Structure 1
Amino acid sequence: MDSRILEIFSCIKQCAITLQELLQCDDSGYLASTNASGDTQLAVDVRADRILEDALLKLACVGGVCSEEKSSALYKQKVDSSLVESTFLQLDSSQSLESSLLIAYDPLDGSSLFDSNLSVGSIFGIYNGAFSASALVAAAYIVYGPRLEVVLACERVEHCVYSGGQWRSKGALQLESKGKLNAPGGTQKHWSKEHKELVESLFAKGYRLRYSGGMVPDLHQILCKKGGLFSYPATSDAPNGKLRKLFEVFPFAFIYERAGGEAINGRERLLSLSCDGLHDSTPCFLGSTEEIAQVRAIYMNKER
C-alpha cells in the first residue's frame, strides 16, 4: 500500500481516539450557525471539524482538505506552506504539491443522534490531485459506539477495533451476494411511487428494517452482517438526494465496491458520476449485488 495512505490511515486512527474522548462531553447543544449545506451545527460538530483539519493538514503528504462543515476547500500553497481557501475542485499549477493527496471528510456524520446517545461516525475520502470520483484512491470511516472502530479501505476493507489501549484488526469485511437488512432513508411521504414499491418488496421478502438516521452506523451494520441495502433516494423535497458526494457517498461507494458490493444512484455507478461543486449531492443505493439488481430493475423500468 502507498506509504502516504498508510500515514493518513494512522492519523485517522489517532484522531478517532481524540474524538471518542470529545464525545464523552455533555455539550450536545446547537449553535446559532449553520454549515455549508444549511444544517444547524452542534458545538461538537465544530470542535470535531477543527481537530481533523489540524491533524490532517500537518501531514506532509496532504495538500488540502475540504469538510462537510465548510463552504470552501483549504489548500496548502507550494512555496510557504501557508493555507488558502478555494472553492475550486482542483489544485492549480501554483498550488499543486508533488506526492500530495486531498481529503474530503464529514467530521461528525449523524450528529443529530448525539444527544440521544446513538452511534455516530466520521467519513473520509482520500483523493489524488482532484476532488472527483475518478481520483478517489482510498476511504475510511470511524464508528463511535459501544466500541470505537475504524474501517479502512484501499486494496481491501480492513475492520479495526480499539481495545486495551491499542488498535487490533478484526480482518477484512466482505459482503455476500444477498443480505437481510433494509435501511431506507428520506421522509416516507416524499418518496416516489417506485421507491415505495422497492422498499415494500424487500419487506415482503422478509428483510428487516435497520435505520437509525446515521449513515455510518447503518452502512457499518450492513457490512458487518454481510449484506443488505442502504438507500437514500431522490425525494420530492430533495430531488438530487440529500447525501453529499465527496464527503459521504463517494467514500462509502468505494468501500462497498472493495467489499464486493455495488453502489449506484438508481441507474449509474456512483463512482462514475461527475462532481460540479464541493457540496453536490446525489441519490444513492449501496448494498449487496442482489439488492442492487432489484434497485436497477425498478429504477430502469421507471425510465421506460
Structure 2
Amino acid sequence: MDKLDVTLERMRTFVRVAERGSLSAVARELGIGQSTVTRQLRELEDAVGVPLLSRTTRRVTLTDEGSRYYADSIQILRLVEQAGDEARGTRNAAAGTIRVSCTAAFGVLHMSRLIFAFQDKYPEIGVDLSLTDERIDLVREGVDIALRLGPLSDSSMKLRPLGESRRLLVAAPAYLAARGIPALVRDLSSHEGIRMSNVAGSDTLTFEGPDGRSHSVPFSGSFRIDHGLGAREALAAGRGIAPAHRWLVDDLLANGQLVQLLPDYRLPSVPLSLLIVPERAGIARVRLLVDFLAEQVGGIPGIERARS
C-alpha cells in the first residue's frame, strides 16, 4: 500500500487508542463507530508495514514498533497543529477545541462563567469542559489543561500556580440558634460537623490562632459527602458546621444564609493550580486560555492570586 495512505486522521485515531487502550472508548470520544476505528487502525498498519497495536479481549496495547511510532506521531501532530496556529496568526484568529478538566463545584460556580467570557473574546475556540473531583490521567483522557485544588504530585505535567483558596468556618443561623455559637476552637468537638468524605484528614480541623500558634480539634458528624455543592446545600439547610472555600459560600454569607465562625482563627488555604499537558502547552489556543484564567482568577471571591 502506498505510504501516502498514512493520513493525519488515521494517525490521530491511533494516538488516542494508544492513550486510552480501548477502541470503544475512542469511538465514543470521536463520535464514530467502533468499526470505523478498527478500519482506520488496520489501514494505518498496512500503510506503515508493521503491527502497531496488540489486541486482547480486554485491552489494546502498543507493540515495540507501535511505541516508537506513537512518540513520532505525537511530534508530527503537534507540528501540524502549531503550523495551523501560525498560519491563523497572520489574521490574529485562534481556532480549534480545548479540553478542560476542573474540580466539580468550582467548575459549576465559577469556571463556566470564565469560559463563557473567554469564548466571547475568542469565538472560534471551542471548549469541552469536564467536571470531576477525581485526579484523572490527563493524557489518557485527552485533556489539555486541568484546574485542581490541593497539593499536586504529577511531575510529568507543566504546573501554573494560580493562587491560594481561602477557607472559612461557617454555619447557618438556624443551626447556631439550636446548638449555640462556638466561642473557642475546642467547642467544635461537641458540634455537628459536615465532612468531605473524599478529603484526607477531614476528621480534624487545624487553625492558626491570633497568637500565631496552631490549634487542632477533632471534627465529626453524622453527614459526610463527596461533593462541594452537596456540602453547600447541607450548610444552607442548617445540618451543621463546616470549613468551606470562600468561593463556595460567598453569596450565602452575603445574603445571611450562612455566617462565619471563629473569625480570629485562620484555616489553612488550599493551592489552586493549572496542570498543562506538556505536548499541548505550545499550542496557541491553549496558551490563550491559560493566560486568560491566570489573569481572571483573582476576581473570584476568596482566591488570593499567585505572585508573578
User: Higher helix proportion, which one?
Assistant: 2
User: Higher strand proportion, which one?
Assistant: 1
> Structure 1 length normalisation: TM-score?
0.26
Instruction: Using CA pairs under 8 Å that are at least 6 residues apart, name the structure with larger relative contact order, 1 or 2.
Output: 2
